[in-house]
Amino acid sequence: MMKFAWDNYKLYAWGKNELRPLTKNGHIGNMFGGLRGASIVDSLDTLFIMGLEEEYEEAKDWVKENLDMNSNGEASLFEVNIRYVGGLLSAYYLTGEEVFRTKVLELGEKLLPAFNTPTGIPRGIINLGSGLSWSWGWASAGSSILAEFGTLHLEFVHLSEVSGNPTYKEKVMNIRKFLNKIEKPHGLYPNFLSPVSGNWVQHHVSIGGLGDSFYEYLIKSYLMSAKKDEEAKKMYYDALEAIETNLVQKSPGGLTYIAEWRGGILDHKMGHLACFSGGMIAIGAADGELQKRKHYMDLAAEITHTCHESYARSDTKLGPEAFRFDGGAEATATRLSDRYYILRPEVVESYMYMWRLTHDPKYREWGWEAIQALEKYCRVDAGFSGIRDVYTATPNYDNMQQSFFLAETLKYLYLLFSDDDLLPLEDWIFNTEAHPLPVVRHSCMQGESKTHQRQKH
Binding-site annotation, residues for Ca(2+):
432
Q: Provide the minimum distance between the beta carbon of 148 and ligand DMJ in the complex, in angstroms, as a whole number.
A: 10
Q: Provide the minimum distance between the beta carbon of 38 and ligand DMJ in the complex, in angstroms, as a whole number.
A: 10
Q: Nearest to residue 209, comparing CAs of 271, 281, 138, 142?
A: 271
The angle, 0 to 180 degrees and rounded to 10, between the axes of the packed helices 277-285 and 230-246 is 130
Residue 74's contacts (CB-CB under 8 Å, 6 or more residues apart) are 30, 33, 125, 126, 127
Could you give the CA distance from residue 140 to residue 154 in angstroms, rounded to a whole number? 27
Residues of span 393-412 touching ligand DMJ by CB under 6 A:
404, 408
Q: Provide the minimum distance between the beta carbon of 96 and ligand DMJ in the complex, in angstroms, as a whole number.
A: 26
Could you give the CA distance from residue 350 to residue 428 in angstroms, rounded to a whole number? 16
Query: Residue 18 forms beta bridges with which residues?
Result: 27
Q: Provide the minimum distance between the beta carbon of 404 and ligand DMJ in the complex, in angstroms, as a whole number.
A: 4
Q: Which is nearer to ligand DMJ, 87 or 383 (CB)?
A: 87
Residue type, 153: H
- For the window 63-82, what string marks contact with ligand DMJ as x by the rule CB under 6 A? -------------------x
Residue 287 is among the residues annotated as catalytic for this protein: no
Which candidate in 321, 338, 349, 398 is catalytic?
Answer: 321
Should residue 345 be labelled a site residue for ligand DMJ when binding is judged by CB under 6 A?
Answer: yes
- ∠ Cα 16 75 43 (to 5°): 40
- For the window 349-388, what string marks contact with ligand DMJ as x by the rule CB under 6 A? ----------------------------------------
Which candidate in 45, 148, 212, 338 is catalytic?
Answer: 212
Query: Residue 202 forms beta bridges with which residues?
Result: 192
Should residue 433 be labelled a site residue for ligand DMJ when binding is judged by CB under 6 A?
Answer: yes
Q: Please, is 281 exposed, middle or buried when counting C-beta atoms within 10 Å of its C-beta (0-12, 13-18, 19+)? A: buried
Q: Which is nearer to ligand DMJ, 237 or 404 (CB)?
A: 404
Could you give the CA distance from residue 173 to residue 8 in angstroms, rounded to a whole number? 41
Q: Which is nearer to ligand DMJ, 258 or 273 (CB)?
A: 273
Which candidate in 42, 330, 346, 408 is catalytic?
Answer: 346
Q: Which is nearer to ligand DMJ, 50 or 273 (CB)?
A: 273
Residue 427 is among the residues annotated as catalytic for this protein: no
Q: Provide the minimum distance between the beta carbon of 213 and ligand DMJ in the complex, in angstroms, as a whole number.
A: 5
Q: Provide the minimum distance between the beta carbon of 145 and ligand DMJ in the complex, in angstroms, as a whole number.
A: 12
Binding residue numbers:
432
Distances (CA, A) of 72 to 77, 110, 126, 347, 374: 14, 11, 10, 36, 37
Q: Which is nearer to ligand DMJ, 18 or 408 (CB)?
A: 408
- For the window 238-277, what string marks contact with ligand DMJ as x by the rule CB under 6 A? -----------------------------------x----
User: According to CB under 6 A, which one of 432, 435, 436, 437 is a site residue for ligand DMJ?
Assistant: 432
Q: Provide the minimum distance between the beta carbon of 397 and ligand DMJ in the complex, in angstroms, as a whole number.
A: 18
The answer to whether the CB of 260 falls within 8 A of the CB of 238 is no
Which candidate in 18, 55, 79, 349 is catalytic?
Answer: 79
Of all residues in this chain, which one has the CB nearest to ligand DMJ in the complex? 432
Residues of span 185-244 touching ligand DMJ by CB under 6 A:
213
Phi-psi region of 120 (alpha: psi -120 to 50; beta: other; left: phi over 0): left
Q: Which is nearer to ligand DMJ, 114 or 275 (CB)?
A: 275
Q: Which is nearer to ligand DMJ, 246 or 432 (CB)?
A: 432
Active site residues: 79, 212, 321, 346
Query: Rule CB under 6 A: which residues touch ligand DMJ?
Result: 82, 213, 273, 344-345, 404, 408, 432-433
